[in-house]
Amino acid sequence: MYLWLMKQPIRNIAILAHVDAGKTTLSERILFAAGEIHRPGRVEDGLATMDYMPEEKERGITIESGVAHFEWKNTWFNFIDTPGHVDFGAEVDMALTAVEGAVLVVSAASGVETQTVASFRKLRESRVRTILFVNKLDNPDYSLDETLINIEETLGVRPVLMSVPQFKNGKMHAVLDVLSQSRLVHSESGAEVLDDGWESDAGSAEERALLKKYYAEAVEFASNFDDEILSLALENKPVPPKMLLRGLKALAASDEYVICYAGSALEGFGVRSIVTALSFFLPEVPTFGENELGQVVRLRHFRGIGEISLFRSHVDLLRRDWPAGFEFSRLKANMLLPVDEIRSGDIYAMRSPFETELGQVIYLDGRGMRDESSMGDAAGTSLRAEGEAIYEAAGDAAENAAGTAAPSISENYLPLLQTRVECVRTEDYAHVERSLSVLARMDPSFRVQKDDGGFWYLHTVGEVQLDVLLARLKREFGCEVRAGSPEVRWQERLCREVGPAENTFQIGPHKMSISISASPLEGDAHDIRLSAEFMESAPREILAGVRSALLESTEVGVLGKGPLVGVRFEVHRFEWTEGALPPMIKKCCVDAVAKLVKPADVQLYEPVMELSLECPVNFAGLVTGDIQAREGKVKEIEGDGKTHFLKADVPLRKIFGYATGVRSISKGTALYSMKLLGYRPASV
Please determine, for residue 5, whether its predicted confidence score (pLDDT) is greater than 70.
no
Burial class (CB in 10 A: 0-12, 13-18, 19+), 645: middle
Please determine, for residue 405, whether its predicted confidence score (pLDDT) is greater than 60.
no
Q: Is the dihedral of CA 206, 209, 213, 214 positive or negative?
A: positive
Of 447, 441, 444, 438, nearest in space to 476 by CA: 438
Please determine, for residue 53, whether its predicted confidence score (pLDDT) is greater than 80.
no
Of 174, 169, 244, nearest in space to 212 by CA: 244
Q: Is the dihedral of CA 230, 233, 235, 241 positive or negative?
A: positive
Amino acid, single-letter form, for residue 43: V
Amino acid, single-letter form, for residue 483: A
- Residue 142's pLDDT band (boundaries 50, 70, 90)? very high
509-to-288, 371, 505, 559, 584 alpha-carbon distances in Å: 53, 40, 11, 34, 12
Determine phi and psi for 626, rounding to 5 degrees.
Answer: -65, -40
Give the per-residue pLDDT at 393: 38
Close Cβ partners of 617 (under 8 Å, ≥ 6 residues apart): 639, 641, 642, 643, 644
Please determine, for residue 131, whether its predicted confidence score (pLDDT) is greater than 90.
yes
Amino acid, single-letter form, for residue 244: L
Give the per-residue pLDDT at 538: 72
In this structure, how many other beta carbons lie within 10 angstroms of the beta carbon of residue 493?
21
pLDDT in tens, 579-612: 777 788 888 888 999 999 999 999 999 999 898 8
Answer yes or no: are the C-beta atoms of 412 and 377 closer than 8 Å.
no
Rounded to 10 degrees, what is the CA torsion of 309, 315, 316, 318?
-60
pTM of the complete model: 0.71
Task: Name the more confident of 619 and 59.
Answer: 619
Of 67, 63, 69, 27, nearest in space to 48 by CA: 27
Mean pLDDT of 36-64: 52
Give the per-residue pLDDT at 75: 92
Give the per-residue pLDDT at 444: 78
Share above pLDDT 70 across residues of the chain, in percent, rounded to a whole number = 86
**Quick one: angle between helices 271-281 and 23-33, nearest 10?**
80
SS3 581: coil
**Cα angle at 657 between 651 and 659, to 5 degrees?**
100
What DSSP character marks residue 188?
T
SS3 76: strand
Separation between Cα atoms, residue 505 and residue 251, nearest integer Å: 66
- The pLDDT mean for the chain works out to 83
pLDDT in tens, 160-201: 999 999 998 889 999 999 999 999 998 887 888 888 877 656
Give the per-residue pLDDT at 372: 41
- Residue 223's pLDDT band (boundaries 50, 70, 90)? very high
Please determine, for residue 280, whether its predicted confidence score (pLDDT) is greater than 90.
yes
Give the per-residue pLDDT at 532: 76
In this structure, how many other beta carbons lie within 10 angstroms of the beta carbon of residue 582?
17
Answer yes or no: are the C-beta atoms of 283 and 290 closer than 8 Å.
no
Task: Name the more confident of 146 and 562.
Answer: 146
Mean pLDDT of 655-679: 82
Answer yes or no: are the C-beta atoms of 651 and 598 closer than 8 Å.
no
Looking at the DSSP bridge assignments, the partners of residue 107 are 111, 135
Q: Which of 209-223, 325-339, 381-395, 641-655 has the highest mean pLDDT?
A: 209-223
pLDDT in tens, 361-398: 999 998 876 544 333 333 332 333 343 444 443 333 33
What is the residue-wise DSSP string for 517-573? EEEEPSTT---EEEEEGGGGT--HHHHHHHHHHHHHHHHH-SSSSS-B-SEEEEEEE
pLDDT in tens, 410-423: 666 677 888 889 98
Separation between Cα atoms, residue 408 and residue 430, nearest integer Å: 29
Separation between Cα atoms, residue 489 and residue 561, nearest integer Å: 6
Answer yes or no: are the C-beta atoms of 488 and 467 closer than 8 Å.
no
Give the per-residue pLDDT at 408: 58
Residues counted in the chain: 684
Separation between Cα atoms, residue 376 and residue 383, nearest integer Å: 14
Mean pLDDT of 44-68: 49
Query: Lowest mean pLDDT: which of 238-247, 328-337, 411-420?
Result: 411-420
Give the per-residue pLDDT at 396: 37
